[in-house]
Structure 1
Amino acid sequence: MEDSEYQRVEAPPRSEDALDRRGFIRMLGAASVPLMAQACASDPDREVPLELERFRGTNPPASVEVQVRRARKNQPILAKAEHLSIDPALTAYLGLGDQCRVLRGEDSYALYTVGQLRSENSETRVRMGMQARSRLGTTDTFDAILSTTVVAEGLSDQEAKDLSEFVERLVDDGQSQSFIALAPHGGFIERHTDDQAELMQSLLADQGASSWLCKGYREGGGAYERWHITSTDISPNSFPGLDLIADRGFAYALSFHGTSLPLVVVGGGGPQWLREGVREVIAGVLAGSGIEVCLSAEVDLYPGDNPGNIVNWLTAGGAGGVQLEQSLPARELYGLAIAEALAEYYAQLL
């Protein structure tokens, strides 16, 4: 398969006892949003992923001229650097919880999540907090283009790098529900995490393993600021490849991430025995390196157990996800060894 393409396949029929993503959200009591025509730390304020209960597939491609204004003091998006609010009229193109690009200029653009629907005097008025506006190089108000096209299609990895772009990659046979390796912040966002996910999938290919990842680049630095979307916010409505597997219900999912802290943290919504097993495997790889490997509860960091975290809702019943937060030395010096050892561990479970 060429690296400029992901495999488009139909998901197989679900078994009667399988719980799909939308069914899982209904079980949690999530409400749907009416439609007119959307480091890696989990967002503690969102216990129920409302954005996932939707009645359409990926968002239609659209670009709209908007006016970006300051968030009001009572808006929940005020202090969120990755969030914005839109007028309900714009739900013709995307909805609550979906991602979009906002372009202020030729080299001033970034990804955002719709964190609130707010009625405005102008249907094209968008609001952001100061941190969110700063990602586009200003704290002032400005005119911009809002685009529902989140990932660039038809680009190889090298072309994406040359163009400072953001691409999505899916490797999937269209039916397996065994295991998926994830790296939503690959490329230059959280370096080497995509290499880990790709290697793990290839080593477990005979067991039907899949992988889904994104690669974001920016010449001169700043890929994290431009392309990072928190794991609890990622919406399949904005990622065509992810939408293909959103209701699959994998037995296990493992998500590779990066942290600036000097340690490795194992979290996720999976059972205790699974997280402990993953920690033991990684600790074996890192023995003698001086890099500490902890469960999230031991350090009160990166729990990764939010039902809205992609590593959880991609698994059957939300019960098979493990999230890894890894220091740069762990990724840079031991990343592939970690992935290889974890592949051997999961091979015994599949």
Structure 2
Amino acid sequence: MPRPILQTNPVEVTETGHLTEVLYDDGVTDDMAVCAAHGGAVEPGTGEQALELATRTGATCWGCFGYDGDVGAFDAFHPASSDIDPATYDLLGRIADRGFETVISLHGLAEDRVLVGGGVDGDVKRRVRERLADALSTPVAVAAPDGQYAGTDDANFVNWLAADGGGLQLEQGQTARADESEAVLDVLDDLLADDVL
């Protein structure tokens, strides 16, 4: 089996910041992809979580790391998940048609709670919510199906990267991305080992 390599691609450079695309991939794995489209200072902690989970599990990892000291990374480099297109992101284009069995997308949330969403089956979302609720000190809920953080749109990259059209999207507050980040990763690792994901 080929060894994964880390590739980077500068997507955008401004006078005060930059956005860099990252792909950790062996070129053939289609079991799992872990993503963090808004890493770096955009949604801090998510990029590091994604890379850590990928190296633990042997998954492919795709993400973007954005930094901007003037307007702020969030304002400069935060497209909606349904607006992320492989025509704009060359490294994403390399895995866009692979059809991963499991796709997990890690995001940041301003409120200190966790929302479980994505196009994955509702029963899976409930099981993920239960495990995270047992492990974290912050509230965990399944995202409202018609809410802002549902992540169910077919155009959302977490869903079209998945072979069955249903990925898992986690919106995480500061505690889950920082102090309890390891607990989140442990839960996801266990869910994968138990074939829940």
Structure 1 residues 239, 300: closer, same or farther in 2, change over 3 A?
closer
Match of 2:11 in 1: 150
Unaligned runs of 5+ in 2: none
Identify which of 340, 343, 347 aligns with 2:186. 340
In the aligned structure 1, how far is the partner of 2:49 from the partner of 2:154?
A: 24
For the 8 Å contact 2:11–2:21, the answer to whether it is kept is no
Identify which of 14, 19, 34 aligns with 1:181. 34
Alpha-carbon shift at residue 6 of structure 1 (Å): 4.3
Unaligned runs of 5+ in 1: 8-148, 153-162
Aligned-residue identity in percent: 36
CA-atom RMSD in angstroms: 2.4
For the 8 Å contact 1:166–1:227, the answer to whether it is kept is yes
Map 1:245-324 → 2, pairs under 5 A? 245-286=95-136, 289=137, 291-297=138-144, 300-319=147-166, 321-324=167-170
Structure 1 residues 299, 231: closer, same or farther in 2, change over 3 A?
closer
Alpha-carbon shift at residue 218 of structure 1 (Å): 1.5
Alpha-carbon shift at residue 348 of structure 1 (Å): 2.9
TM-score relative to the length of structure 2: 0.88
Match of 2:87 in 1: 237
For the 8 Å contact 1:199–1:340, the answer to whether it is kept is no
Aligned to 1:318, the other structure's residue is in SS state: coil
Corresponding letter in the other structure for 1:318: G
Structure number with larger C-alpha Rg: 1
For the 8 Å contact 1:203–1:340, the answer to whether it is kept is no
Tell me if 1:172 matches 2:25.
yes
For the 8 Å contact 1:188–1:224, the answer to whether it is kept is yes
Aligned to 2:105, the other structure's residue is in SS state: strand
Per-residue CA distance 1:15-39 (angstroms, 9 max, x = gap): xxxxxxxxxxxxxxxxxxxxxxxxx
In the aligned structure 1, how far is the partner of 2:35 from the partner of 2:64?
A: 9
Aligned pairs, number? 192
Structure 1 residues 171, 333: closer, same or farther in 2, change over 3 A?
same
For the 8 Å contact 1:151–1:168, the answer to whether it is kept is no
In the aligned structure 2, how far is the partner of 1:308 from the partner of 1:323?
A: 13
In the aligned structure 2, how far is the partner of 1:165 from the partner of 1:243?
A: 20
Alpha-carbon shift at residue 165 of structure 1 (Å): 1.3
Alpha-carbon shift at residue 262 of structure 1 (Å): 2.7
In the aligned structure 1, how far is the partner of 2:29 from the partner of 2:12?
A: 25
In the aligned structure 2, how far is the partner of 1:151 from the partner of 1:220?
A: 15
Alpha-carbon shift at residue 295 of structure 1 (Å): 0.3
Per residue, is there more strand in 1 or in 2?
Answer: 2
In the aligned structure 2, how far is the partner of 1:347 from the partner of 1:229?
A: 32
Per-residue CA distance 1:264-310 (angstroms, 9 max, x = gap): 10000001122122212211220xx2x11000138945110000001
